[in-house]
Amino acid sequence: MIHESILIPVDLAHPEAASVMFDRARALLRPGGRLTVLHAVPDLAPHVTMEMPDDFLPEALRKADDTLRALVADAGLDADIRILTGQAPRAILDTADQVRADLILIASHRPGLSDYLLGSTAARVVRHATCSVLVIR
Ligand code: ADP
C-alpha cells in the first residue's frame, strides 16, 4: 500500500534512528504525498524554568528546528518540519490528526536497547493512534 500522508516523529537525543525511518518513508510515500517530521521539546517544570534565562525556550526551539531541518535536508527529503513543546506521545497523536496521517513511522525504542522492548513513547503511540503505525526495529 502506498501512503498519502506519513508522519515521522524524531527524538533529537537519538538522531541516528532517523535515517532508517526516512528510508522507509521514501519507499512507502506516494509520489507527491505529504511527509511530516516532528520533534517534541519536553516541557520543563515551572521551578526549573524560573531558573532559566528568558530566551531559553525560544532558543531550544530554534536549535531543534535547525537540527531537524539539517537532518531532513541531508536525507534529501522534502518534508514539513514541526517542533512542538510538551509530551512526545501527545504531540505525535495531535499532529497525526492534524496532517491526516495514514501512517506513523516510529522507532521501537532508543538505539541500543533490547530489540524486544517497546519504548514508552512508541507504546503510547501504538495504543492510541487512530491510523496505522509501523514500528521500526
Ligand atoms: P525509549 O523509551 O527507549 O527512549 P521511545 O519510545 O521514547 O523509546 O522512543 C522511540 C521513538 O519515539 C523515537 O525513535 C521517536 O521516533 C519517538 N520519540 C521519542 N521521543 C520523541 C520526541 N521527544 N519527539 C519526537 N519523537 C519522539
Ligand 1 pocket: which of 21, 81, 121 to mutate (most atoms <8 Å of CB)? 121
Residue in 7, 39, 40, 49 with CA at minimum distance from that of residue 24: 7
**What are the tens digits of pLDDT across the range 56-78?**
888 999 999 999 999 999 999 99
pLDDT at 44 (0 to 100): 77
pLDDT at 95 (0 to 100): 98
CA of 123 to the centre of ligand 1 (A): 10
pLDDT at 45 (0 to 100): 73
Percent pLDDT > 70 in the chain is 99
Write out residues in the chain with pLDDT < 50, as ranges: none
pLDDT at 131 (0 to 100): 98
